[in-house]
Amino acid sequence: MRSTRVSTKGTRVLSVVMATAALAIVSASADAGLRHRYSFNDGAFDEPAGTFEDLVGNADGLLYNGASITDGELILPGGAFGVDGAHARLLANGGGGINISGYTNATFEIWGSTSELQLWQRYFDFGGRSNAAPVNGGNTIWVTPNAAGDPGMRFSISNVNLNTQSGFDGEQWADTILLPTPLNTERHIVAAFDGENDVMRLYLDGALVGENTAVTNILELLQDDYALLGASLYDGDPGFAGSINEFRVYDMVMTPAAVLSNFADGPNDPHPLVPEPGSAALAAAAAGCLAGCRRGRKFVRR
């Protein structure tokens, strides 16, 4: 009787391909998404210490100069200028810090309201100071609800020689003539920085309102000295007057569909939409796995 030898080579190859694909998907998903989240809720706020928790990462925050948290919102009364005004500081660097210079892409998502529209006040300002003029910001990234000379919101990034320049000498931005009004009304603001494609986008209440498609500045040149909410790294800029209900930092570019979905869901959603990264690893994994996955194997959705 002739014996028949069954080759398992194809099965082994398929298993390896599928395992590699799964590893690539897990790795890519782990490397991109929501990195820091601040909801300012009671369980995440230590009032005596003036600290509040990062619900996703470890970059917890500290209240300064009269900033407070009430009913799950960061309350910022405005008034004094620069870091002398009421604001919050997030852990900017080191282990567990935001370390914004380690990002290539980033998205900043805010639910907040303004009680005054003072020029150059900040929702947030990440970066550091100029060495040449320490009263000015250096390599920074920020969003203001009201930019001077071009009224409306602005999303800005600066790359300069810190020893000879201030941030405004090398600033690039996406902006809009729209203001986040009416006053004391919560709006949804998303600022997306696409370092891989040289694009900055600004969204208001789910709609794209500003875009710059010729950006040459990069996140890797930013300073990791400060991560401020409600204050500017320029001493001449007023403190933010209003409140922030939620603030999130992602290390990926949020898609228009995700922006619209998050706007519809609102702040404090326990499961915010984090789109899958459109990476080459995912594409390769999907292509390699396709034949085997079709034969009775299931895709696992996040």
User: In the chain, how long is the greatest CA-to-CA distance?
Assistant: 95
3-class DSSP assignment, residue 108: strand
Q: Which residues of the chain have pLDDT under 50?
A: 1-31, 276-302
The pLDDT score that the predictor gives to residue 48 is 83
Predicted local distance difference test score (pLDDT) of residue 193: 98
260 Cβ partners below 8 Å, 6+ apart? 206
Residue 274 pLDDT? 58
Q: What is the pLDDT of residue 45?
A: 86
For position 47, what pLDDT does the model report? 84
Q: Which of 82, 127, 83 is nearest to 236 (CA)?
A: 82
- 186-217 pLDDT, tens digit per residue, is 999 999 999 999 999 999 999 999 999 999 99
User: What's the DSSP call for residue 19?
Assistant: H
Which amino acid makes up residue 182? P
pTM, 2 dp: 0.81
CA 261 – CA 193 distance, rounded (Å):
19
* Cβ-based neighbour number of residue 160 at 10 Å: 22
Can you give the residue ranges of every domain in the chain?
A: 9-32+277-302, 33-275
- Dihedral (Cα; 161, 253, 145, 216), 10-degree rounding: 30
Question: Long-range contacts: 45-52, Cβ < 8 Å, 24+?
Answer: 45/69, 52/88
**Locus of tokens 């782990």:** 30
| Run of H or E including 227 | strand 226-229
Q: Does domain 33-275 have CATH number 2.60.120.200?
A: yes
> What is the pLDDT, as a whole number, of residue 186?
98
Residue 273: the pLDDT is 57
| 144 close to 236: Cβ distance less than 8 angstroms | no
Residue 62: the pLDDT is 97
